[in-house]
Amino acid sequence: MKPLNLIPSVVVMSLAIMASAQTHSAAQKSTPDTDAQKSFVSIKALAGDWEGPVTLNPPIPEMPTDKPIHVSMRVTSRGNALVHEMQESGTPVDATKYDHPVTMLYLDGDRLTLVHYCDAGNRPRMVARPSADGKTVEFDFVDLSGGNERGHMYHAVFTTIDANHHLEDWTYMMPGDKPMHAHFDLQRSK
């Protein structure tokens, strides 16, 4: 088959895909928003770069909190997912030398789901429950993939203060089921 004979087929396939995407998009807009969809819209509004102090409870001497944390959030996959990355502010993006966990947030049916790709080598999955005020999205632990020898992330809460200020509260379950709480007070940097 000559390459020119493929052009009509490619054009027809492209148009079919575009029509399908437009129909799907229109269908999404006409259906009422679920709590999970509302929460996801709220979380996606936090896309950008953030910096701020971290408070650990209980404090861990090996983990100084005098350096702020940097959080980057970006919407990806045509709006179907949010990538959340955190690292100590001012450190290079080099996950072989510095902590650099990645969290993916996405709608899974009628649930807003979070999967945290932890530096401890595991992947806890959590599901959101919305708050009455619409400014807080709380994630509860569902299950864990990977080992648990060094503990795992167990709980997360995102609270929007305004367009340039939000809080994140993460609970890490240490070995022996001892919780450690990290509170991030984040200001938009970009």
Q: Are residues 15 and 96 in the same domain?
A: no
Residue 12 has pLDDT above 90, yes or no: no
* pLDDT value at residue 130: 74
Q: Are 184 and 165 in contact (CB under 8 A)?
A: no
CA 5 – CA 118 distance, rounded (Å): 49
Q: Are residues 83 and 175 in the same domain?
A: yes
Residues 61 and 87: their CA atoms lie apart, in Å, by: 18
> Which amino acid makes up residue 104?
M
User: What is the rounded average pLDDT of the residues 50-61?
Assistant: 88
Each residue of 138-162: pLDDT tens digit?
A: 999 999 999 999 999 999 999 999 9
What is residue 16's predicted lDDT score, i.e. its pLDDT?
46
Mean pLDDT calculated for residue range 7-13 = 49
Q: What is the pLDDT of residue 11?
A: 46
Q: What is the CA radius of gyration of the chain?
A: 20
Domain hosting 125: range is 33-188
**pLDDT tens-digit profile of 82-100?**
999 998 887 767 666 667 7
The pLDDT assigned to 66 comes to 66
Contacts of 111 (CB under 8 A, 6+ apart): 36, 127, 128
SS3 40: helix
Q: Tens digit of pLDDT for each residue in 102-134? A: 999 999 999 999 999 998 999 999 999 977 778
DSSP string, 123-138: EEEEEEEE-TTSSEEE
Q: Which CATH number do you get for residue 184?
A: 2.40.128.20
Q: What is the pTM of this model?
A: 0.80
Residues 116, 103 share a domain: yes
- Indicate if the pLDDT at residue 172 is higher than 50: yes
pLDDT band (50, 70, 90) for residue 32: very low
Q: Are both 80 and 27 inside the same structural domain? A: no
